[in-house]
Chain A
């Protein structure tokens, strides 16, 4: 992992096994399947759910500073805690939680390379015991949405550039407009199929190996730079609601060291439903 631009942001399963009793390390499991954690998790890990814990219950937005502080305090996480995220599906939701933590500037956040699947594949210990940590003190700044998050108006401004750099990380079928959601999911949520004009289609999971670990730096550079997504660009990544693109945001920002990458979490469920915005649709069916 030393090859990556920020190698310290990844830890491997052996590192986690060696730090199971490290009081300064908090393991956080974030999954798509809401009960997966309860079927067994890494000893000492707590669960953070993207809907119940990270989303505002009413407004389409994330939790505010006060609720973030409360969440981390009850999970026993302080400002100095090393938070290691892992989860199902190539760490897709783990990187999403990581991104939300970074909106609040949490300093030491890391990802378990290979996630839940690799830990289990290696036959490592799982437990159903839910840990209970002493309440911590957490002081967060106001959420900073400028650096790593893009809103629709910013995407529209972005499109005025001569060669706007957008990465659509959805499946080719969603990108073309054939489908409104991933092929294996219900086709719901948007009125139009297609993509934001000028976007390059690089499905997020292409950044992962079969065992869930991230591809090598050379492979990742070839994947993204081969489609013009280079480190000198101002890059906006998007998908359907911003979770898959958080994975690509993580890869570009931390593994490849791109300095200017934002995640457009409004993504296709916003853009594909808005009145009057331009889209491109290549599917002719």
Chain B
């Protein structure tokens, strides 16, 4: 994509966000950004019964166009993906996916949703481990 295509893609997601809103039955609801931050994203994550794949991923948020478009693109990209894909997805890849040429000066905004999703996955795994320990105990 050329620069204008990248901008159009980001604005399309900003103005018409995908998977925007709450997610019924979410296993994890993870807020991201500073508690009173201008760029805020809350990730809703639901994992399938195997505990290995994303069954549902949605977000709510407020803030600049890059932070909100990135959350929408991320949510669209990872529906049904294995949780290990979240582990593998690095901030640099996210920036490249969004369009480095356009978002490089706003990298914190570009990676807010991914960082929040990584925290959500970590939270889910800890909860599963605790549950497993209780079961085993």
Chain A interface (Cβ < 8 Å from any Cβ of B)? 32-36, 38-39, 49, 51-52, 183-187
4 tightest A-B contacts by CB?
A51-B105, A35-B65, A33-B64, A184-B38
Contact among A39, A49, A185, A187 for B105, CB-based, below 8 A = A49
List, in ascending order, chain A residues with CB within 8 A of B103's CB: 34
Q: How far is the CA of A240 from the CA of B122 in the complex (A)?
A: 34
For residues 82 through 137 of chain B, which have their beta carbon under 8 Å from a beta carbon of chain A? 102-103, 105-106, 108
* Residues A185 and B34 in contact, CB atoms below 8 Å apart: yes
Q: Does B37 contact A (CB under 8 A)?
A: yes
Q: Does B14 contact A (CB under 8 A)?
A: yes
For residues 51 through 93 of chain B, which have their beta carbon under 8 Å from a beta carbon of chain A? 64-66, 69
Contact among B15, B33, B105 for A34, CB-based, below 8 A = B105
Chain B interface (Cβ < 8 Å from any Cβ of A)? 7, 10-11, 14-15, 33-34, 36-38, 64-66, 69, 102-103, 105-106, 108
Contact among B37, B69, B102, B106 for A184, CB-based, below 8 A = B37
Q: A34-B102, A34-B103, A39-B11 are in contact. Are A185 and B65 (CB under 8 A)?
A: no
List, in ascending order, chain A residues with CB within 8 A of B38's CB: 184-185
Q: A34-B66, A186-B34 are in contact. Are A39 and B106 (CB under 8 A)?
A: no
List, in ascending order, chain B residues with CB within 8 A of A33's CB: 64-66
14 pairs, A vs B, C-beta closer than 8 Å: A33-B66, A34-B105, A35-B11, A35-B69, A35-B102, A36-B64, A36-B65, A39-B14, A39-B15, A39-B65, A184-B37, A185-B37, A186-B34, A186-B37
List, in ascending order, chain B residues with CB within 8 A of A38's CB: 7, 11
List, in ascending order, chain A residues with CB within 8 A of B33's CB: 186
How distant is B89 from chain A, measured CB to nearest CB, in Å? 21
Kindly report which residue of chain A lies nearest to residue B40, judged by CB atoms: A184
Q: A185-B37, A185-B38 are in contact. Are A35 and B10 (CB under 8 A)?
A: yes
List, in ascending order, chain A residues with CB within 8 A of B15's CB: 39
Q: How far is the CA of A38 from the CA of B99 in the complex (A)?
A: 15
List, in ascending order, chain B residues with CB within 8 A of A183's CB: 36
How distant is A149 from chain B, measured CB to nearest CB, in Å? 22
List, in ascending order, chain B residues with CB within 8 A of A184's CB: 34, 36-38
How distant is A117 from chain B, measured CB to nearest CB, in Å? 15
* Residues B65 and A187 in contact, CB atoms below 8 Å apart: no
Q: A49-B105, A52-B105, A186-B108 are in contact. Are A35 and B7 (CB under 8 A)?
A: yes
Q: A39-B11, A49-B105 are in contact. Are A34 and B64 (CB under 8 A)?
A: yes
Q: How far is the CA of A35 from the CA of B13 in the complex (A)?
A: 12
Kindly report which residue of chain A lies nearest to residue B101, judged by CB atoms: A52
List, in ascending order, chain B residues with CB within 8 A of A34's CB: 64-66, 102-103, 105-106
Kindly report which residue of chain A lies nearest to residue B112, judged by CB atoms: A186
Q: A32-B64, A34-B106 are in contact. Are A187 and B34 (CB under 8 A)?
A: yes
Q: How far is the CA of A185 from the CA of B37 in the complex (A)?
A: 5
Q: How far is the CA of A34 from the CA of B69 in the complex (A)?
A: 12
Q: How far is the CA of A38 from the CA of B106 in the complex (A)?
A: 15
Q: How far is the CA of A38 from the CA of B65 in the complex (A)?
A: 10
List, in ascending order, chain B residues with CB within 8 A of A186's CB: 33-34, 37, 108
Kindly report which residue of chain A lies nearest to residue B110, judged by CB atoms: A34
Kindly report which residue of chain A lies nearest to residue B63, judged by CB atoms: A33
List, in ascending order, chain A residues with CB within 8 A of B105's CB: 34, 49, 51-52
Q: How far is the CA of A34 from the CA of B65 in the complex (A)?
A: 8
Q: How far is the CA of A35 from the CA of B15 in the complex (A)?
A: 11
Q: How far is the CA of A35 from the CA of B108 in the complex (A)?
A: 15
How distant is A218 from chain B, measured CB to nearest CB, in Å? 32
Kindly report which residue of chain B lies nearest to residue A183, judged by CB atoms: B36
How distant is B97 from chain A, measured CB to nearest CB, in Å? 16
Kindly report which residue of chain A lies nearest to residue B8, judged by CB atoms: A38
List, in ascending order, chain A residues with CB within 8 A of B36's CB: 183-184
